[in-house]
Amino acid sequence: ESGIVVDPDSENRGISVAGRVFLFPSAKGSTVGSYVLVTLKKRGVSPTALVMVEPSLVVISGAVVAQIPFIYGVEERILKEVRTGDFIKLNPLRGEVRALDSGVDDNGG
């Protein structure tokens, strides 16, 4: 509801996805996940785009209804190459994800 990841098993727990591109390997959970994406969009705290390694019909259908761009089927290495704070260039029609220069300097600022 707030845009903050609450899954206790997620390495992204406590991170806000609001206004960010959210990269993740796969989805878990029930069909309520689609509703969650739509609710996040209505509240203005949705991610600007979703990038997944493994496609999930629940996530894809939620993204379509919420009109959140998504890419699935990316190589898992992308998850390791992109860091929190990086600027990302997406081409959803081609399934391309590319990290640009980081928005965070080496000193954390």
Query: Per-residue pLDDT tens for 20-50?
Result: 999 988 887 777 788 889 999 999 999 999 9
> Which among 2, 10, 30, 102 is annotated as catalytic?
30
Percent of the chain predicted with pLDDT > 70: 92
The pTM assigned to this predicted structure is 0.82
The residue extents of the domains of the chain are 21-101
What class has domain 21-101? alpha beta
| SS3 per-residue string spanning the chain | CCCECCCCCCCCCCCECCCCEEEECCCCCCCHHHHHHHHHHHHCCCCCEEEECCCCHHHHHHHHHHCCCEEECCCCHHHHHCCCCEEEEEECCCCEEEEEEECCCCCCC
Q: Establish whether 30 is a catalytic residue.
A: yes
